[in-house]
Amino acid sequence: MLLLRALILLVSFMALPVQAATLEELVAQLPEGKFDERAEVIDKIATTGDPRAVPLLEALSEGELQQMKKTDAIVRVVREGKIFTAFDPLTGAEIGEIGRRDARKIRVNNRLRRQISNAVAVMTLQAPDREVRLEAAAQAFKSGDPGKLPALRAALELEEDAEVRSAFEDAVAAATLGSDAGEAEKIAALELLAGRADQQALSLVTRAAEGEGAVAAAAQAALEQIENARFAWGLAQNVWYGLSLGSVLMLAAIGLA
């Protein structure tokens, strides 16, 4: 009878849903195991959706996340000259100055750094805050990193805000130009970038025009479109400036009269 009750309790316990680890618990797991195990913890941290995870993972990638030797506490250590200052890795609160050998780095390799970069991209591109998403899209466009294409496409598919969608489309186009995508995709990206007519788009298209084949020809056409648009915009600005200055001078003349 006792054995039967024990078995019932065991089965009931196993049937209970497993509660996901908190961000704090996952942070405590970061120093443990090999790089593959650390990679699994990083994935779990990214899927929490907690905004505190972004600066945490960035600190880990930059080698600033360390474990205190005496307490095992995880801290972010910032060095200024010979001074080492510890901060709470989740709140950013300053803990205080520590000795040079009081903590050990939580090590990452290049594969983990790439994983962290992609995880941070996903978290910022899909952040609840619209302004954060816009800034993330702008940074992705500026970098033109083809490694962020999966994250950008996933964010674009979910995005409902028209302005943010447009920013994501531009970032996808910039990343596509630097990727191993086919000619059709790169030509479509160039056509999209030609409509921006700003300096960043001009730089991207100029680099694409230096190659050969259909992509280079499309880039050359996009260059001409951008340069024409910039010329027209400059002319309009000059006309507006001239009209504004003329109006001021006319009013001044009327005042003197």
pLDDT at site 13: 34
Confidence band of 18 (pLDDT split at 50, 70, 90):
very low
- The yes-or-no verdict on residue 206 having pLDDT over 80 is yes
pLDDT of res. 227: 81
Which has more pLDDT, 128 or 74? 74
What is the percent of the chain where pLDDT is above 90?
57
Least confident of 5-19, 45-59, 80-94: 5-19
Q: Which amino acid is at 214?
A: A
* 116 contact partners, CB below 8 Å, separation of at least 6: 42, 57, 58, 60, 61, 108
- Residues 6+ positions from 63 with CB-CB distance below 8 Å: 105, 108
103 contacts 66 by C-beta, under 8 angstroms: yes
Task: Look at phi and psi of residue 126 and say left if phi exceeds 0, alpha if psi is from -120 to 50, else beta.
Answer: alpha
Candidate ranges 42-51, 64-73, 230-239; pick with highest mean pLDDT:
64-73
Question: Does the pLDDT at position 213 exceed 70?
Answer: yes
For residue 15 the two structure tokens come to: 């049937």
| pLDDT the model gives residue 252 | 58
pLDDT confidence bin for 210, thresholds 50/70/90: confident
Q: Is the pTM of this model over 0.75?
A: no
In this prediction, residue 49 carries a pLDDT of 81
Does residue 228 have a pLDDT over 90? no
Among the residues of 126-212, which ranges form H helices? 130-143, 149-158, 162-177, 183-194, 199-208
